[in-house]
Amino acid sequence: MSWPLVKLAEVATLNPRLPKWVNESQEVSFLAMASVSEEGKILNQERRILAETKKGFTYFERNDVIVAKITPCFENGKAAFLDRLETQVGFGSTEFHVLRPNSDELDGKYLFYLIWNIQLRSVGERNMTGSAGQKRVPTSFFKDLKIPLPPLEEQKRIATILGKADDIRRKRKQAIQLADDFLRSVFLEMFGDPVTNPKGFPIGTIRDLVESANYGSSGKASVELKEFPILRMGNITYKGHWDFSSLKYIDLNEKEQQKYLVRKGDLLFNRTNSKDLVGKTAVYREDEPMAIAGYLIRVRTNELGNTEYISSYLNSKHGKQTLLNMCKSIVGMANINAQEMQNIKICIPPKALQDKFADIVDEVVQRTKKMTTGEEQLNELFSSLSQKAFSGQL
DNA sequence: AGCCTAACCTAGCCTTGCAG
DNA sequence: CTGCAAGGCTAGGTTAGGCT
């Protein structure tokens, strides 16, 4: 059975105008673009008095659906169903479209999942208008959008099923976060707080643990497929994880391969970035070799150190603070060179203890990897579930 | 006249290439 | 090796011009 297709404009109001009854002294929730997550959630609701809200901001109400219109927020899935809006009336970025379902015909949560599904598939992309760098989805896209419209009760059923699938997906994400927290507490338990060094380990510098610290290749990275993927600063996340989603490539001769390839267990350090992001650190844990760009430093340890220990140290709260303090008084951009990085003070626990910690990290990482692939499968499941739901096969 | 939208502008941050 | 300038990208602010 497939549902009748109806123009969205017939069952919802698009970008409604501010009604007269709204009072200037009234308190409203304010949602900037950044307060809506790509998971379709509201992150924080700022409270403002309406009179202080500058003219031109977008008006919406509780139970509306808002969708980012500007690229890339649209493609990234910035949208939300405002059932938890803390005030009846809200304002937000001008880059939102507001969709207000007619309550007797269209369920808000159903509409949200429908729109979100379209967003994540970027069906709207070809309808975007504007200059190359600044594209937006025009209102006409939503006005003319034909949506499948089952009876209200059926819409609610579909929204509930999709909501549950979405919850499972989110819980999986939380589990991955928990693994992170777990490793942090294992670190603390094994080595103590690095500030107070309660276990009385000898204190040295990272240099004491390092065999070599080399810069990467300054060769130009190419989007086209070449012999080796090349890791750039964006591939290391702030938390010290890997994001291989946008790789570039490079060819290397034999000599360069020695210098610029990373292997399992190498530590990588981002030496140039903004103040907050300089010093992003992660351990490379893949089997196949990759190259590194010039603004990354490849660190290999000697018989006293394990890269997992150093990485966890630099990714700890204290480590992050240390890095931040090192690049003080530099505006806009910060550098920490290979020497300065090796000057960082660190406790030196026995190698066996560091190795034991690395084994635990390894085990947790392997398990998390399985969960991450599970996460991808869940994303696909959710996606195909949505397809089925909206075509009347659920 | 007032409203709305597409187009344009900009600040601030992030990346990258490259000179010394 | 290293620091830095240039340029790109994103979110969000402003404006011109068309429509009612």
Task: Give the separation between CA A126 and CA A137, rounded to whole angstroms.
Answer: 9
Q: Which two tokens stand for residue A96?
A: 């939102």
Protein chain A, residues 156-195, with a C-beta closer than 7 Å to any atom of nucleic acid strand C = none
pLDDT in tens, A223-270: 777 888 889 888 888 888 888 877 888 888 888 888 899 999 999 999
Q: A22-79, pLDDT tens digit by residue? A: 666 677 777 877 778 777 888 777 777 766 665 556 778 888 888 887 766 776 677 8
Contact A344, A325 (CB under 8 A): no
| Chain segment A306-356, per-residue pLDDT in tens | 999 999 999 998 998 888 887 754 556 678 888 889 999 999 999 999 999
Q: Considering only residues 365-384 of chain A, list those whose CB is below 7 Å from strand B.
A: none
Predicted TM-score (pTM) of this structure = 0.76
A138 CB-to-strand C distance under 7 Å? no
Q: Which nucleotide is nearest to A214 if distance is taken from CA to C1'?
A: C1
Structure tokens given for A6? 């109806």
Considering all nucleic acid strands, name the nucleotide whose C1' atom is nearest to the C-alpha of residue A143.
Answer: B5
Nucleotides of B under 7 A from a protein CB: 3-10, 13-19
Q: Helix, strand or coil for residue A76?
A: coil
Domains and CATH numbers, chain A: 5-149 (3.90.220.20), 152-194+352-394 (1.10.287), 202-348 (3.90.220.20)
Residue-wise over A188-198: b if at least 16 C-beta within 10 A, else e?
A: eebbbebeeee
